[in-house]
A and B are shown apart, each in its own frame.
Chain A
Amino acid sequence: MLKIENLHAEIDGKPILRGLTLTIGKGEVHAIMGPNGSGKSTLSYLIAGRPGYTVTEGSITWNGKDLLALEPEERAGEGVFLAFQYPVEIPGVNNVYMLRAAVNGIRKYRGEPEISAVDFLNLVKTKTREIGLKEGLLNRPVNQGFSGGEKKRNEVFQMSILEPSLAILDETDSGLDIDALKIVADGVNRLRSPDRAFMVVTHYQRLLDYIVPDHVHVLANGRIVKSGPRELALELEAKGYDWLLEEAA
C-alpha cells in the first residue's frame, strides 16, 4: 500500500506540494488529474526519488517502508517504477543491455541471482510481442531516434519487463495518437493485477477511457482537492477545473 501523508515539498525554495495526502491500495488504479502546474509531475518524481526536491513535511511509505529514505535505485528494488513523460535519450547505450542491467540491479537489491542470458532473451521476446515494440528498437541506443510514440511504448515495455508492484505513469498519453494510446493502454491493462498498484497521472480523461481507474483524484495547488469514482473524470472533462479551484479556494 502506498501511503502519502501531509506531504510538503519544494524546489529551490518554491513550494510545490502543500499537504498532499493520498492512499493507494494493492490492486487499485488511481488517476491523478489536475491543471498544469498543480504538482502532478512533482508528485511522480518524489515517489520515484528524483534529486533536487526538498521534502519539508510529511511522508511517503510503500508497504510500510519509508521511501524518502531510499535512493532511486533502492526504490526500484522495492518495486517502484516511473514511466516518464519525457524519456531521456542515452547515446551509445543499448536499450536491451540497459534493461538487463536494470533487471540485475533490482535482483541484486533483493538478494536474488542474476538472470541468465537465455531467460532474459526469452522474456524480452515475449514482452516485445505483447507491447508491439518494433524489434529494431531493442538494440538501438536508449530512446535515441525514437518517435514520441515509440518512446512511450518503450516505457511500457520496460515496465512489463521489470514487473513493478507500484507503477506510476506520468502523462503517458501525451503526444500519442489514438492507435498508440490504445496499444499503450493495452500494455498497462495486461499488467493490472491484484498485487500491483497503479498511479496514472494525466491531464485529459481520454486515457481513462482505456485505462479505467478505481479512483480519481484532482490535484490543485499542491494538494488533493477532490476525490471520487471514475465518473469524476468525465465531470472534469465536461466542466474543466476552474469550478474545483474556486471551490478549493
Chain B
Amino acid sequence: MATPQTEVSELLNRKYDAGFYTDIEQDQAPPGLNEDIIRLISSKKEEPEWMLQWRLRAFERWQKMPEPKWAHVHYPPIDYQALCYYSAPKSRANAPKSLDEVDPKLLETYKKLGIPLEEQMMLAGVAVDAVFDSVSVHTTFKDKLAAAGVIFCSFSEAVREHPDLVRKYLGSVVPQGDNYFAALNSAVFSDGSFVYIPPNTRCPMELSTYFRINAMNTGQFERTLVVADAGSYVSYLEGCTAPQRDENQLHAAVVELVALDNAEIKYSTVQNWYPGDEEGRGGIYNFVTKRGDCRGRNSKISWTQVETGSAITWKYPSCVLKGENSVGEFYSVAVTHHRQQADTGTKMIHLGRNTRSTIISKGISAGRGQNAYRGLVRIAKSAENARNYTQCDSLLMGNECGAHTFPYVEVRNASAKVEHEASTSKISEDQLFYLRSRGIGSEDAVNLIVNGFCKEVFKELPMEFAVEAQKLLNITLEGAVG
C-alpha cells in the first residue's frame, strides 16, 4: 500500500522550548586566544602558579595540533580568534553565601527551565552545582556531603582548596594532548565540577550539575573531574539547556572519571543545547571528550546519555578497563532533527583480565538530521577473557535524514568474546496509522513509538532524569512525523 512520506514529515516542527535569554551583566574578556588571555583567565580565578603553567603547556600543544576532520559532520571553519574565552556573571565579585544572595535573574532563568533550586533542594534531595556561563554561582547541600566526606565543588574551588587531589588526577584520564578539543579545553577551561568520594563511601545523594550557556560569542569550556576512591559509589547527573540565539557557539568540555578498586561511577547526561533553527542556523557546536578510567579491580563506570540538542555533536564517552574484572557500560540515545549532525559513540578499551563492556546505542534521525554511531571495542593482548556486547539501532523518520554506523573492533587476545548487533528501521505509516486508529493522536503516537525504541536506555537513567529525558525527546521530535 503506497503511503506518502510527507505524512511522516509534518509532525516535527516546533520552536525551541527553552529559548529565552537572561540579561545579566557580563565580566568578559576581549575576543581572541593567546598567552595573555590564558594568564587573565588564571588570574581572574586566583589560580596557583602550577595551574597556570599546566594551562600554558596545553596551549602550546594545542597550537601545534590540527583540527580533526574525520567525523561525519560538516560545518564552516571555526575562527578561534573571534571567540571569547572568559565570561563571568558580575555578581561574582561578592559571591553569594545563600540562595537569597543569588542574582534574582539567575534564579528566574532556572525557574523558566523548570528547575527551581529551592524545590530541587527540598523535593529531589539533589545537590546542584549550577554552572552559569563560566563561574559556579551556587552550591548546595555542601554540609550533608561534607559530613560524608564527599567533596563536591566547582573546579576553581577545588584548585584552591584541594590542590593535591586535583594535581594527582587532573589530566590522568584525558591527557592535555589527547585531542585538539581536549587540548583547547585544558588551556582555557572556564570552570566545572569536582567530585571526590572517599574510600568505602556511598555518596548520600545523586549529584547534579546544570550547565547553561548564556553569553553571546563565549565558548564554554567545562572541566569535570570525578574520583571514586576504593569501595565507593556515586551517581552523577549532568543536564543542560540553552537560550535561543543566532550565532554558533563552541563548546568543548572535558570529563574525566576515575574509579579505584571496587568503586562505581554512574554518569548520566541529558543534553539539550540549542540545536539551531530549521535551516541549521545558530546552534551549539558540541565537541566533548568524556572518558572514564576503571583503574581499580572490580571497578565499574557506566555512561548514560540522552543527546537531543546541539547543531553538531562530537562525543565519545569511553571506558578504559584497566582493573581486573572491571566493567564499562555505554547507553545512548542520540536524536538529530532538522539539520542537526551527530557523530557519537564510545570506546571500550579492554586492558585487564575478565573485563566486560556493554554498548547500547539508539540513534534517531528526523528532518534532514544526520546521525552517526562511531564505536571502538579494543581487546588488548593482556585482556584475558574479555567480553563485549554491542547493540546499535537506528530509527529513521522521513526520507531526508541519514543514519550511519562506524563500528571498529580490534581483538588481540583469542579468548575474547565480542558480539555486535545492528539494525536500522523506519517509523512506518503502518505503525502510526495503527496507533491513530486506536484513538491516539499523531504526536502521542510518534512519542509512543520513539520512547519504545529508546526504552532500554531510559531504564538506565535515574528516575527523575528518565521522566525529563522522555519529555525532552517528545519536545524535540514534535512535528517530525505527521
Contacts and interface: CB of A to CB of B under 8 A. Distances in A.
Interface string B165-200: 000000000000000000000000000000000000
Interface in B40-84: none
A91 B456 CA distance: 11
Interface string A28-48: 000000000000000001001
A186 interface: no
Nearest to B393: A91
Interface stretch (B209-217, B220-228, B439-447): B439-447
Interface in B425-473: 428-431, 433-442, 444-445, 448-449, 451-456
B435 A98 contact: yes
A137 interface: no
A134 to B, nearest CB: 20
A103 B440 CA distance: 8
A162 B449 contact: no
Given A11-B1, A90-B431, A141 B452 contact: yes
B94 interface: no
A77 B449 contact: no
Contact of B448 (A82, A98, A109, A158): A98
A113 to B, nearest CB: 15
B428 A88 contact: yes
Contacts of A12: 2
B430 A76 contact: no
Nearest to A86: B430
B438 A90 contact: no
A49 interface: yes
A105 B438 contact: yes
A52 B4 CA distance: 6
Interface in A198-213: none
Given A11-B1, A11-B2, A51-B429, A90 B436 contact: no
A87 B7 contact: no
B431 A88 contact: yes
Contact of B439 (A73, A84, A91): A73
A105 B452 contact: no
Q: How large is the interface on A (under 10, 10 to 19, 20 to 34, 35 or more residues)?
A: 35 or more
A90 B395 CA distance: 13
Contacts of B453: 91-92
Contact of B434 (A52, A88, A99): A88
B438 A158 contact: yes
A101 interface: yes
Nearest to A87: B434
Nearest to B3: A52
Nearest to A90: B431
Given A88-B430, A105-B441, A73 B448 contact: no
A175 B353 CA distance: 52
A102 B438 contact: yes
Nearest to A109: B439
A73 B436 CA distance: 5
A73 B452 contact: no
Nearest to B450: A92
A80 B438 CA distance: 9
Interface in B1-32: 1-4, 7
B435 A90 contact: yes
B8 to A, nearest CB: 10
A49 B7 CA distance: 13
20 contacts: A50-B437, A51-B3, A51-B433, A52-B2, A71-B442, A73-B439, A73-B440, A73-B445, A75-B437, A76-B438, A82-B437, A87-B434, A90-B435, A90-B448, A92-B454, A93-B448, A102-B438, A105-B441, A106-B439, A162-B439
